[in-house]
């Protein structure tokens, strides 16, 4: 999935030390430019890697900055060129070099520019740079798709917002909102409470046409798809059973679509974990999309609602007892459905959490079970557009502004999602009769007061 290239052997030794300590099970190969400083000679060395369906990260020192800029403009989009703030790669301490490698990886999901001709965002270096867009391994970007998202964002920031804006999540719930190359607004989404806050920064806004957005990024999405498919093809003959834990979210839907392009439909089994506290819209989405794909979904019941009826307190950030029950139910279902060599394809991505970013793309559970993450380096922007490119709609919760999909009492729901649960009349109408919805809202409103 990843291949790293540096200028010299001594630089390669430094990178290998980083891999040994931080990426032990990743199976990352390291190559050199054979010491080449001349751009043409470097391109000659890189020629053999051009057709490899992988993300190829070139790490160079500050003294090669000018060459790096030229190389970046001449290489395909799966090549990431990253210059570290040291004269030579080998001069960096191992922990600093690890951070630089993480930053280089994050460019795969955070490289976004603006096409001034068609007024759309490009998920590659092909247009104008976005104002104050920073690359950081902890950051993530996603689109606010649809008229409802535009409406609710406008209410919170108390100003005009364009259609289909880009939101960039930074630290402490801060999100930069872009409706063009300039930063349009700032949005704060605290993890607790029910009230996000925002302010307008610029009145230069553009409406982004969704069809143009998909068309403009078709090439990059196809490139990322080819890398993911090549990764999955390694297991095509090995796997007797292919299981996809499917939440109805953008990430698990993306890996389900990828799996169907590699494996026989007879082998593919999506598992949906019903907690008893699912958004009705998500359950409908699972039913409708599975019919559209011609798949039979295995439903495993977690019964979180029954735990709450017994008197258990609502899960919180500090006490996510629900997660353990859900994992146990899914693992039990996988054991029951496994036949022969079992491949479990998950929608894990680096940007979701620090814990997930540390997991290797391939993990062995037992001798006959492997867990693989083919979209590990993708961004939320990619997994939002990929199903649409394949004529599969997104979960309707995304169309009002949700970032993630879970149950409606999930402690990971931010103030923004809870605000939408209260503001959107259709969504609220689907929830008011659901068990423990009112208790959850009251709990969140209480934390807002305590804040």
| Overall domain count for the chain | 3
CATH of residue 275's domain is 3.40.50.620
Give the range of the structural domain holding residue 399, as residue numbers without chain letter.
224-413
Do residues 91 and 124 both lie within one domain? Answer: no
Is 56 inside a domain boundary? yes
Cα dihedral 353, 96, 364, 138 in deg (nearest 10): 10
Residues 186 and 300 in one domain: no
Q: Is residue 450 part of a domain?
A: no
Residues 54 and 195 in one domain: no
Res. 384: pLDDT tops 90: yes
pLDDT for position 366: 81
What percent of the chain has a predicted confidence (pLDDT) above 70?
A: 99
Choose one of 109, 142, 166: the last residue of a domain: 109
> Residue 449 pLDDT > 70, yes or no?
no
Q: Is the pLDDT of residue 167 over 70?
A: yes
Choosing from 210, 238, 261, the residue where a domain stops is 210
Q: What is the pLDDT of residues 103-112, one digit of tens each?
A: 999 999 999 9
- What are the φ and ψ backbone dihedral angles of 214, each rounded to 5 degrees? -65, -45
Same domain flag for 402 and 301: yes
Q: Is residue 407 part of a domain?
A: yes
Asked if 125 and 98 sit in the same domain, the reply is no
Using CA atoms, how far apart are residues 164 and 360, in angstroms rounded to an integer?
33
pLDDT at 358: 81
Tell me, yes or no, whether 172 and 247 share the same domain: no
pLDDT at 353 over 80: no
pLDDT at 450 over 60: no
Residue 380 domain flag: yes
Instruction: Indicate whether 125 and 71 sit together in one domain.
Output: no
201 and 277 share one domain: no
Last residue of a domain, one of 62, 84, 109: 109
| The model scores a pTM over 0.85 | yes
* Residue 195, phi then psi, degrees to nearest 5: -125, 105
Q: Residues 280, 395: one domain?
A: yes
């Amino acid at each position: 999935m990843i291949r790293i290239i540096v200028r010299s052997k001594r630089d390669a030794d430094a990178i290998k030390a980083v891999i040994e300590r931080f990426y032990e099970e990743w199976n990352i190969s390291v190559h050199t430019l054979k010491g080449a400083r001349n751009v043409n000679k470097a391109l000659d060395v890189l020629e053999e890697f051009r057709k490899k369906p992988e993300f190829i990260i070139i790490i160079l020192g500050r003294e090669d900055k000018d060459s790096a800029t030229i190389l970046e403009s001449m290489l395909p989009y799966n090549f990431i060129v990253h210059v570290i703030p040291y004269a030579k790669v080998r001069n960096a301490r191992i922990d600093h070099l690890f951070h630089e490698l993480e930053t280089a990886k994050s460019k795969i999901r955070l490289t976004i520019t603006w096409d001034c001709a068609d007024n759309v965002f490009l998920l590659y270096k092909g247009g104008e740079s976005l104002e104050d867009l920073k690359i950081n391994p902890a950051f993530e970007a996603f689109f606010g798709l649809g008229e409802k998202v535009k409406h609710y964002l406008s209410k919170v920031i108390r100003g005009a917002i364009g259609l289909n804006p880009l939101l960039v999540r930074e630290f402490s719930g801060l999100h930069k909102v872009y409706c063009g190359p300039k930063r349009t607004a700032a949005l704060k989404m605290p993890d607790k409470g029910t009230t996000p806050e925002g302010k307008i920064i610029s009145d230069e806004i553009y409406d982004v046409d969704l069809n143009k957005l998909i068309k403009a990024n078709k090439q990059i999405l196809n490139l990322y798809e080819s890398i993911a498919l090549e990764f999955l093809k390694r297991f095509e003959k090995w796997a007797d059973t292919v299981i996809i834990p499917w939440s109805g979210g953008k990430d698990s839907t993306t890996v389900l679509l990828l799996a169907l392009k590699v494996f026989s439909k007879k082998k593919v089994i999506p598992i949906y974990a019903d907690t008893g506290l699912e958004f009705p819209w998500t359950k409908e989405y699972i039913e409708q999309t599975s019919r559209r794909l011609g798949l039979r979904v295995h439903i495993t019941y977690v019964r979180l609602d029954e735990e709450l009826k017994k008197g258990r307190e609502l899960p919180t950030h500090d006490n996510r007892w629900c997660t353990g029950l859900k994992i146990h139910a899914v693992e039990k279902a996988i054991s029951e459905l496994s036949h022969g060599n079992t491949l479990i394809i998950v929608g894990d991505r680096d940007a979701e959490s620090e814990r997930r970013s540390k997991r290797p793309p391939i993990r062995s559970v037992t001798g006959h079970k492997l867990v693989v993450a083919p979209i590990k380096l993708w961004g939320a922007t990619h997994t939002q557009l990929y199903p649409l490119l394949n004529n599969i709609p997104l979960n309707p919760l995304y169309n009002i502004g949700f970032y993630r999909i879970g149950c409606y009492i999930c402690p990971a729901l931010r103030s923004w999602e809870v605000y939408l649960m209260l503001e959107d009349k259709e969504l609220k109408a689907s929830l008011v009769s659901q068990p423990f919805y009112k208790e959850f809202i009251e709990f969140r409103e209480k934390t807002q007061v305590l804040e």
